[in-house]
Amino acid sequence: MEEYLQCMKTLRSQINEVEDQSAKITAEEQTLMTRIQAMSSDLSSAKSETNRVKEDTHRMIKEKGSLCSEILDKQRKIASLEFDSSTLAQSQVLIQQERLILSSKLVEKRAYYLQTIDDINSKLLQQQDWVISNIINKGIEEHGLVKDKFDLQTTQTKGKPAVDWLVRDIPGNDARKELVAKLDSSEAKLHEITLMKSKLLIENDKPDLAMDFGTLEDGYKAFLSDKGGEF
């Protein structure tokens, strides 16, 4: 009987130990489950954060591609603008050089035509003096009284030679009529040349305006042609 009781005590003691170990294991399992749940929650959060980071990364890559494309486009535009600017600068230099050349030629032509106009004026005045002197001399040779009438007519015309009176009143004056006609033509050309000179002087104050030198050349050639026929 005592052995039986002793066995029962031993068995009870073993059962208590097993129950204690079981309780400890259960507590440890509960702790582990809590940790596992926490880790699962952290893992879910990490996965969510990873997905968000991936999405942000993908969006940033797209934005980076768009920015790179815009940068390349702007670089191409800048290169094109720099090329255009260089071309315009070269064109401006060429235009400036051409302008200086044209201005120099224009100044030379103006100086030439001004000198030509002065020469023409001098020759026209000489021609007028010659015609008037020729008319007066011929009138004096043919009529001894012409001088007195001529002086009287000159006084009446306030000092201007009375060429028209000589032509009207002296008989056989066809040659003088022709001379007077040439004189009138010379006076008209002198007036025209004077106007051209005035216009040219005005143009000298306006270097950006073009002078019609063709008109002046035509007038000069016409004068030379008439001069060759008169003398």
Q: Is the separation of the CB atoms in 117 and 197 below 8 Å?
A: yes
What is the Cα–Cα distance from 133 to 35, expressed in whole angstroms? Answer: 141
Crossing angle of the two packed helices 213-230 and 174-204, in degrees rounded to 10: 160
Q: What is the pLDDT of residues 88-131, one digit of tens each?
A: 889 889 988 988 998 888 888 888 877 887 887 787 778 777 77
Q: How many CB atoms lie within 10 A of CB 18?
A: 10
Region of poorest pLDDT, from 34-48, 105-119, 201-215: 201-215
Q: What is the pLDDT of residues 129-150, one digit of tens each?
A: 777 777 666 655 555 444 454 4
Tell me whether residue 196 is exposed, middle or buried, using C-beta atoms within 10 angstroms of its C-beta: 0 to 12, 13 to 18, 19 or more: buried
Q: What is the pLDDT of residues 58-70, one digit of tens each?
A: 999 999 999 999 9
* Confidence check: pLDDT of 17 > 90: no
Q: Kindly list the distances between the CA atom of residue 156 and the CA atoms of 151, 162, 164, 170, 183, in Å, as whole numbers in the listed order.
A: 9, 9, 13, 18, 21
Residue 159's pLDDT is: 46
Helix (H, G, I), strand (E, B) or coil at 145: coil
* Confidence check: pLDDT of 38 > 60: yes
Q: What is the pLDDT of residues 168-182, one digit of tens each?
A: 444 445 666 666 676
Residue 181's pLDDT is: 72
Residue 161's pLDDT is: 46
Q: Is the separation of the CB atoms in 180 and 135 below 8 Å?
A: yes
What is the Cα–Cα distance from 150 to 160, expressed in whole angstroms? Answer: 10
What is the Cα–Cα distance from 130 to 136, expressed in whole angstroms? Answer: 10
Helix (H, G, I), strand (E, B) or coil at 143: coil
35-44's contacts with Cβ under 8 Å and 24+ in sequence apart are: none
* Confidence check: pLDDT of 23 > 80: yes
**Interval 203-221 mean pLDDT:** 51
Residue 157's pLDDT is: 46
